[in-house]
Amino acid sequence: MPAELPLSIPSEWLGQRPDIEAAEAQLRAANAGVGIAASALYPSFSLDAAWTATGRTPGALFASAATPWSLAASLLAPVFDAGTLAAQRAAAVDAYAAQLAAYRQTILQAFGQVADALEQSRNDGELLKSQTRALDAAAAALDLTREGYRAGQASLVQLLDAQRLFQQARLGQARALGQRFADCAQWFIVMGAAEGQAPPEAARSP
């Protein structure tokens, strides 16, 4: 576990979270869908070398008996389907807007989770320091009580009570350390670290 987790991080670090990567990919796909739907509104036909050889004149273009029909069909198809194609483009735009909203929601949720993890990390650090101070004080009190017991100035009950307080302090520190380990693992999760991989800079001691 890192010696200390940061209390603030650059937002760019969240780019490696799987949910953000997935939402971004879906947003790109929705954006591409808008472009595809828009391009379908325009006529599309192919010009080959045969037309180039004729001199690229309108008369040459329509000289073939088959060409006018195929070209007219290509030009008129989008006109007849204009309502359908426009509706498809509008649907693609709506899908993109919905995906954009979902992407923003994913970002906000990620920021909230990381902020909560950072706050919990700060609280864990303060709690662990407090429990460590309590353990040091209990250890010092136990040493003094033992010396007093050996010198006949403290009773066995006082010695047992000092030992009990020391053990309670040790248990409190162990619980605080365990909570810090658990919240550290949660911090790695919300940062989107892959299995066996620490988030950027996270493993460095300050």
pLDDT in tens, 84-119: 777 777 888 888 888 888 888 888 888 888 888 888
Spatial CA neighbour of 125 closest among 177, 168, 186, 170:
177
Quote the DSSP letter at residue 40.
Answer: T
| Cβ partners under 8 Å of residue 169, min gap 6 | 131, 134, 135, 137, 138, 139
What percentage of residues in the chain have a pLDDT greater than 90? 23
Asked if the structure places residue 206 within a domain, the reply is no
Quote the DSSP letter at residue 193.
Answer: P
State the Cα–Cα distance between residues 127 and 117, nearest whole angstrom: 15
Asked if the structure places residue 1 within a domain, the reply is no
pLDDT in tens, 150-189: 988 889 999 999 999 999 999 999 999 999 888 888 888 8
pLDDT in tens, 17-32: 888 888 888 888 888 8
- Domain residues for the domain of 170 are 11-190
| Structural domain total, the chain | 1
State the Cα–Cα distance between residues 191 and 199, nearest whole angstrom: 6
Mean pLDDT, the chain, integer: 74
Asked if the structure places residue 183 within a domain, the reply is yes
Residue type present at position 37: A
Asked if the structure places residue 3 within a domain, the reply is no
